[in-house]
Amino acid sequence: MIRRLAATVRYWLPAALLTLVATNQLRLAATEGLSPWSGGGFGMFSSTDSPGQRHLHAFVQNAGIRREVALPADLAETVRRATTLPSRRRLSSLAAELAELESGGSVRWDEIDLQVWAIDHDPRTLVPRGRLVRIERFDLDAR
């Protein structure tokens, strides 16, 4: 019995691995905001939500002051990864890097908000519109 199963493994193993990858992509898309175009790419033809259609806004704030932070070019790869899969861990890492860059200023910021947006299209009119994929707030005093 075991020999027969081992002999057929080359037939069923690829299907099992593809099923695991597809299941994981569906889970990440539902719980972490993974772009359907990433991961295994199984949802790329069902959506226009590609990583290139996403963008990120970062805001630092304290005691009534809120300002948007310009995202430096040297963080472009980190931002791309965070918009493709905006998990709390990736956004927290990006927030730490942005906070370090912002700490050189004269204002001590208390919090940083990161917002990941996707561009969707109205199904009837095809007019583009923004859709909030994920928002996270990080306390900078805790760092």
Distance of CA 47 to the CA centre of its chain: 16
The answer to the question of residue 98 being in a domain is: yes
Query: In terms of residue numbers, what domain contains 94?
Result: 51-142
- Entry pTM: 0.73
> How many domains does the chain divide into?
1
The answer to the question of residue 109 being in a domain is: yes
Amino acid found at 30: A
The answer to the question of residue 56 being in a domain is: yes
Residue 117: is its pLDDT beyond 90? yes
The answer to the question of residue 83 being in a domain is: yes
Backbone φ and ψ for 90, nearest 5 degrees, come out as -65, -40
Residue 143: is its pLDDT beyond 60? no
Comparing CA positions, the residue from 45, 46, 71 lying closest to residue 58 is 71
pLDDT, tens digit, for every residue of 23-66? 877 777 777 777 776 766 655 666 666 667 889 999 998 888 88
The answer to the question of residue 67 being in a domain is: yes
Helix-strand-coil split of the chain, %, nearest 5: 45, 25, 30
What mean pLDDT, rounded, does the chain reach? Answer: 82
The answer to the question of residue 34 being in a domain is: no
The answer to the question of residue 29 being in a domain is: no
The answer to the question of residue 33 being in a domain is: no
Identify the pLDDT of residue 37. Answer: 67
